[in-house]
Amino acid sequence: MANAEIKAQTKHQLLGALLHLLDNKRLNDISVSELVRKAGVSRSAFYRNYHYIDEILIEHANNIFHGFFQNKIIDQSSVNWQQASLYIYRVIRENESFLRQLFINGKSEIWFNASVSEGAPFYENKLGRRVPDEKLIFLTGGIMALGLEWLDKGNKQSINDVANIINPQIRVILGDKKTFA
């Protein structure tokens, strides 16, 4: 196996082990020793890839949003705000366990920061201009808060209903003067 494959396999094992451990423990109660034992990798393998355990979660959140914005939205030039809203809440639902683990462990900023940094190019692409950081932060906070409320209520509203709540807000917050079909 090539070095890149070994590195990817090690990271995958560490992520899987960490997510499994988080099902039963708080993040602060998980040691690197326990994590590497669960992952079946050496301590030095952990430190070749990460400085601290949180970096695994940061990388996972960035990968979720990078894949989301790159593969599902940006590459679809005909996507509209309604579709974008639907995709956003699908990602929230698909990653509910991970999102909850971040919030339980006081690490919601990981999800938030990944969404803002990976979303900026998407919004710039759709609007044809850079969106100020404060607007992205405000928009992301609203989407996250609504998403968590939706999850807490057991996803009783359809994704369409939830998307319809945020869709007009996206346009207003971003100052979108275009009409997307």
pLDDT digits (tens, 9 = 90+) for 22-31: 999 999 999 9
Scored b (16 or more CB within 10 A) or e, 128-148 reads eeebeeeebeebbeebbebbb
Q: What is the pTM of this model?
A: 0.86
Mean pLDDT for the chain? 87
Of the pLDDT bands very low, low, confident and very high (cuts 50, 70, 90), residue 57 is: very high
The pLDDT value given to residue 180: 46
At residue 76 the predicted structure's pLDDT band, cuts being 50, 70 and 90, is low
Number of other CB atoms surrounding residue 52 within 10 Å:
10
Q: Which residue has the higher pLDDT, 168 or 106?
A: 106
Sequence-distant (≥ 6) Cβ neighbours of residue 32 within 8 angstroms: 43, 46, 53
Q: Are 49 and 71 in contact (CB under 8 A)?
A: no
At residue 154, the pLDDT reads: 86
Distance CA 137, CA 126 (A): 17
For residue 55, pLDDT beyond 50 = yes
